[in-house]
Amino acid sequence: MKSTEKILVTVGVSSVILGLIGGAVAGAVSANLLISPRIDRLADLVSAGATSTKPVEPPVVIVPLESRPIVASYPQAFLDRNASSLLRVVRRVRGASEDAQLAPERILGNAAALTSDGWVLVPDSVVSNVRIADLGIVWRGRVAAVEKGVRDTSTGLVYLKFAATDLPAVTFVRASDIASGVAVWVEQAPGALVPELIADQAVHASVLVSSERAARRFQLTSSGYPAGSAVWDSAGRLIGSIESKDSALVIPAGVSGPTLSSIISENTISRASLGLRTLDLSDLVFENPSSSLPRIGAWVRSKTTSASREILEGDVIERIERDILDGNADLGERLLDYRPGSSVTLTVRRKGESIQIKTQLGSASVAETLK
């Protein structure tokens, strides 16, 4: 072989060898760049697991406290008032020492303040069988003696007087403006209000009621409130008082303003009277579907006086002037709007016929002084 050919062969072989070496080196470098970081990360994880068996704790976050106090969700009318109009009625212990504290069992119920100088309103159940000398009102951390008490037998409410100044007086809601489903607030303790609903307008079914007595009551959706707890509308007006302990019935208080004025000015309470005992037909259910009696009205069952000679037993009084006796108010409640001695026109159903009777209302004294 010629020398020139040998040189070419040698160069070719060298090039091949150098190419193989270069490729191997490049491959090794690429593998190191791609694989080594992954191997290093795996080694770190293995190392971390080997050195600690505890989970990694999350960072502690400190939540700052809010400085705003919790505010009750009462209507604005209650948030704006400076003091509650509800007071505690208690049984006094005469001759008690100055440091004697009020025992819870001496609390009889609640009362609603009517005037700034100490007239309050309670249902009869709170003060029945308690002498006036033993009655007290909690006012400004002290038990004040009750000076005077007058029971209104036509409504079941009692008016008490004690020495006070700057009591928060109230305004009233007419009973005729209240209907089922109305949202109300029950104040079961001074400043403690509970949302409620008027569930129904309850009357004493199948019980004879005197025309001098307003027997209708409002019924709440639940019971368990202390006797005398005040029932307010959302504007802070007094609807009435819980009739008795654990009762859901509310005595309407809308007539309390005129009644108290009569007590203060005349020292008595006089009501317009028809001298009748009636049943409210809107609350009665009859077995006989062919009964000739109408569905509403005051069904006269007996007469107690001769105040209205033109009305007979068995008549149904459907109207007094323009006031319909449709169950939203009974006969006695409608008569609260009239003065004794007034002349009124009654629409009466007698033996299936409607007639009108003009009569003069009598007068009945319904005040009893507490002793």
Provide the 8-state DSSP code for 69: P
- Measured distance CA(54)–CA(255) in Å, rounded: 76
Query: Could you tell me the pTM of the whole model?
Result: 0.79
| Cα–Cα distance list, 202 to 118, 140, 195, 241, 347 (Å) | 31, 37, 20, 14, 24
What CATH superfamily classification does 271-364 receive?
A: PDZ domain (2.30.42.10)
Burial class, 184, CB count within 10 angstroms (exposed 0-12 / middle 13-18 / buried 19+): buried
Alpha-carbon torsion (15, 17, 19, 25), positive or negative: negative
Q: What is the mean pLDDT of the chain?
A: 84
Token look-up 């033109």 returns 310
**320-361 residue pLDDT tens:** 999 999 888 889 999 999 999 999 999 999 988 999 999 999
How do residues 274-332 score in pLDDT, each as one tens digit?
999 999 998 888 887 767 889 899 999 999 876 678 899 999 999 999 999 988 888 99
**Residue ranges of the chain whose pLDDT lies below 70:** 1-54, 203-206, 290, 306-307
Question: How crowded is the C-beta side of 32, counted as CA atoms within 13 Å?
Answer: 6
State how far the Cα of 311 lies from the Cα of 317, in Å rounded to an integer: 9
